[in-house]
Each structure stands twice: as C-alpha cells, then as structure tokens.
C-alpha cells in the first residue's frame, strides 16, 4: 500500500471543507490537512451569509423611528455611520476566522495558507512550493461572483466588494434579479443609498413562487427602490462632464417619497462624491431601453461560477460540467475514485447548510464505511429582502405542472406596521396535492419569514398534510397563525 502524507487533503477552508476536515480528523482519527488561499470561513463567513445578514440588521433600523413614534415613543431618525459599522463588522469576521482556525487546530488538522492544485489524483501542489500526497482529496473551493462579458465591466463591483467599500455611494445601479441582487438592493436602500435595479427578465427572483416574488417586487418599489424589469445594461464607461450633464437621473415618484428617509439615514461624512471607492469614479450607463444615467457605483449581481480554474482537475481525470462545476455522483465522488467534491463547486444546491451536510456525508462514506447520500429535496431557504421570503418545496407553478393542486393563501397588513400606518403586506401560502392532501410547498413573505419557514420546513419534510396543519392550534396574535387557519382554497389548478 502506498505511503501517503495524509489520509485526506481538503482544498478549501469554507464551511463544508472545514467541517469535513474536522470530523474526519476528530471522529475518524484520520490524518488530515487543509489548504486555503484566502481567509478561513469561506464565502459564508467572510463575504456572504454572515456579513450580509449583519448588514440586513443594520438596514432595518431605518424605519425604527417612524414606527416607534406611532407607538408613542418620542424618537427621531439619526444618521448611519458606515465607518463605525464597518469597523465592528471587520472585527466580527476576524473573530469568526480565528474560531475556524482554532477548530481545525484543536481537531489535529494541519493547515496550509496557500493555493492548492492537483498534480495527479493523489498529489497536491501548494503555491508555497510544497507537495503533499493523500489517499483521498476533497475539493471544497466554493464559487465566486462573475462580471458580464462586456467592455468596461471592470468599472463595476461585485458582491465581494460591498463589504470593503471605504465609503457608501450616494447612488448605485444593481444589475441582476436574483436573491443577491435583491437583498443588496434592500440593504443599501435601508442604509440610505439611492438604489436603481435593472433586471433583464420579466420579474425578479426567477425560480421562486410567482405570487411571492411579485409581492416582494411591489414592496421594493413602494419603499423607493427604482426597479426596472425587462431592462439590461448595454454600455458603460467612466462618467465625463458631458455624461453627467446629459444624463441627469429622472427621479421616480417612489424615489422622491423615500428621499426624506434617505437624507436622514445617511451621515454626510459617510457618502461618496466620487462614487465607487474601489473603481475610481462615477460610471455612465446606457440601458437597453435607451435611458442613460450616471451612478456613483455599479454592482454586478449576475451570477456565480464554481472555483475550478487552473486546479489541474481535468488532468487528474475529474469531469467538469458546462458551468465549470465538478461533476459528482450521489456520494460526492468525481470520475476519479480518490477525488471528491462538495459545496458550491459542484453547483448542486448552493447553500452553506447543504455544503456542511455534504461534508458530513462524505466522511461517513469514505472514513466510516457507511455510504451516505445527502437528501437535496425539500430544503428550506430564505431571501433576506425587506420583507423577507421563506420558501420550502414546490412553487405553485411547478406543482401544477406535476399534478392537480389546491392553493391556500392570504395576504394582509400585519398588525405591527398596520398600527403605524404603513402599507406593508405579507403573504402566507400553502400548495397542496389534491390527490393525497400532502403540503407540497409553503411560501411566506413577511418580516422574519426565514425564522418561520425553518419550522414549517420540518412539517413539510415529514410529509404533513393540509389536515395536519388544520389540526394545529394557532398562536394568536401572530402573522404565522394564518398558516394553520386557512380553511378554503383560493384556487385549484
């Protein structure tokens, strides 16, 4: 038997790779090493879920004064201090990275702060010049945001750059209609930035339930976000004086209504007169509808690609898919027996908890002689817009293409903001099989929808029927009680 340096070598220090390395070393007593070329914690901890959610929290305070006043509190809107928040954010990310490093160290995992690529199916070359061998190699390198293939695309920023802005721009154009684009549109608007969003499709959040994404789009516009669907960018350049004079923005009524809030939320010393701090100046943009505008910053949120470039994968016999993803079987094994891959680099379900589960299943399969496949069905998820969307299971559209269904839904003004005179609406929706009464999907658009869908996801994963929901006594007065009080279907299909 060959004498390898390690039983397992993990490439990538994100949530999935770290969990797999820790469990293999700690529970299976394997000799494990891990290489990471950037910061430990990966996309989720360093440039994704965690910093984004903290920014969501920060942005939600914008309406605290107006809502509080309606409840009798003598409150006035203050100003948002980006520098203060950014400093605390960076400190928190530093703390979390130390936690990840400590967990690996305490589990006995050797770590290398270096880029790793495959030399062959058992050998890893490090950018530090070292070469290591392993019986099994696990690739967990995640994904990265991409810019469109167009001239001057480098003038725009991507989601990774948001957390490193020296100052907030006064205005931003967000290109894209997926969850990242919509989340940052709501976040930045809440922090006082004038937000315009272009999406080439007919409606944002493609792939989600039509009724739910329609309500989110409506809510975004009501809050003052200039959302233009059926619109894309065709040309961009550094703004000149001529551009600035000839393309002054025409402020929409919604944006005008939000301007008072924005002027109160933003502190003058936190806004940027030269727009994109990381790209060097305002950007002139021409859209497919012929409209020309100058924005301080342009953010591309147009997709993510797996990190598989220049890793020696194909030379080692690993199959690469059309999007650059590593092709794996149900046990995360590639076309090469000694090489496995988990997480976003496989482009299956790109969610942190899924990557962690795939890492755990990999250890069960390879090191505990217990072949384990991850169940990728009925995974709850949330979109942290304002309001949030929580979803699990089939959309109404997907469900009716498969079988006859009944749709139970209600939309209403929640008590908390209705009392304050706010127009906000929420949506509660169940998609039910007409044949066996199983709840096929649940979709919630409401504040804290992510918290609610986690619990609904348990029932739906267990195969609960509509009658199971009906037998559950409501918690009153709450928004979520509507999930168990809807008795009559709104429509059938």
Catalytic residue among 122, 376, 443, 476: 476
SS3 sequence of the chain: CCCCCEEEEEECCEHHHHHHHHHHHHCCCCCEEEECCCCCEHHHHHHCHHHHHHHHHHHHHHHHHHHHHHCCCCCCCCCECHHHHHHHHHHHHHHHHHHHHHHHHHCCCEEECCCEEEEECCEEEECCCCEEEEEEEEECCCEEECCCCCCCHHHCEEHHHHCCCCCEECEEEEECCCHHHHHHHHHHHHCCCEEEEEECCCCCCCCCCHHHHHHHHHHHHHHCCEEEECCCEEEEEECCHHHHHHCCCCCCHHHHHHHHHHHHHECHHHEECCCCCCCCCCEEEEECCCCEEEECEEEECCCEEECCCCCCCHHHCCCECCCCCECCCCCCECCCCCEEECHHHHCCCCCHHHHHHHHHHHHHHHHCCCCCCCCCCCCCEEECCCCEEEEEECCHHHHHCCCCEEEEEEEECCHHHHCCCCCCCEEEEEEEECCCCEEEEEEEEECCHHHHHHHHHHHHHCCCEHHHHHHCCCCCCCCHHHHHCCCCCCEEC
The verdict on whether 476 is a catalytic residue reads: yes
Positions annotated as catalytic residues are: 476
């Amino acid at each position: 038997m060959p004498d390898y340096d390690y039983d397992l070598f993990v490439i990538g220090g994100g949530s999935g790779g770290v969990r797999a390395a820790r469990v293999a070393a700690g529970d299976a007593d394997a000799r494990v090493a891990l290489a990471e070329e950037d910061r430990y914690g990966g996309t989720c901890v360093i440039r994704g879920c965690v910093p984004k959610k903290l920014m969501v929290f920060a942005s939600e305070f914008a309406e605290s004064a107006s809502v509080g006043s309606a409840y009798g509190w003598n409150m006035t809107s203050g100003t948002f201090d980006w520098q203060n928040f950014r400093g605390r954010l960076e400190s928190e990310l530093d703390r979390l990275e130390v936690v990840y490093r400590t967990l690996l160290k305490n589990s006995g995992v050797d770590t290398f702060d270096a880029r790793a690529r495959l030399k062959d199916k058992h050998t890893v070359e490090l950018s530090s010049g070292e070469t290591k061998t392993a019986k099994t190699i696990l690739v967990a390198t995640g994904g990265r945001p991409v810019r469109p293939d167009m001239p001057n695309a480098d003038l725009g920023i991507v989601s990774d750059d948001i957390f490193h802005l020296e100052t907030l721009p006064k205005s931003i154009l967000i290109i894209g209609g997926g969850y990242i684009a919509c989340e940052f549109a709501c976040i930045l608007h809440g922090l006082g930035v004038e937000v315009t969003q272009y999406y080439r499709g007919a409606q944002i959040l493609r792939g989600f339930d039509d009724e739910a994404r329609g309500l989110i789009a409506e809510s975004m516009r009501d809050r003052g976000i200039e959302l233009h669907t059926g619109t894309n960018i065709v040309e961009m350049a550094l703004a000149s004086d001529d551009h600035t004079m000839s393309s002054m923005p025409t402020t929409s009524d919604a944006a005008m209504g939000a301007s008072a809030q924005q002027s109160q939320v933003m502190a003058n010393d936190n806004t940027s007169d030269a727009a994109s701090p990381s790209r060097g100046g305002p950007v002139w943009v021409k859209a497919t509808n012929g409209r020309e505008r100058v924005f301080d910053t342009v953010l591309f949120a147009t997709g993510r690609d797996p990190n598989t470039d220049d890793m020696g994968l194909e030379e080692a016999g690993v199959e690469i898919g059309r999007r650059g993803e590593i092709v794996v079987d149900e046990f995360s094994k590639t076309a090469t027996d000694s090489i496995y891959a988990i997480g976003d680099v496989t482009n299956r379900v790109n969610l942190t908890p899924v990557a962690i589960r795939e890492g755990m299943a990999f250890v069960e399969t390879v090191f505990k002689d217990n072949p384990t496949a991850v169940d990728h069905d009925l995974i709850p998820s949330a979109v942290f817009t304002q309001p949030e969307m929580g979803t699990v299971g089939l959309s109404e559209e997907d469900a009716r293409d498969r079988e006859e269904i009944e749709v139970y839904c209600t939309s209403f003004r929640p008590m908390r903001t209705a009392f304050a005179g706010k127009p906000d609406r929420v949506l509660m929706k169940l998609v039910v099989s007409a044949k066996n009464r199983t709840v096929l999907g649940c979709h919630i658009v409401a504040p804290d929808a992510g918290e609610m869908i986690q619990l609904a996801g348990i029932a739906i994963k267990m195969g609960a029927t509509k009658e199971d929901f009906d037998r559950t006594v409501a918690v009153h007065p709450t928004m979520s009680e509507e999930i168990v009080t809807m008795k009559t279907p709104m429509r059938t299909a």
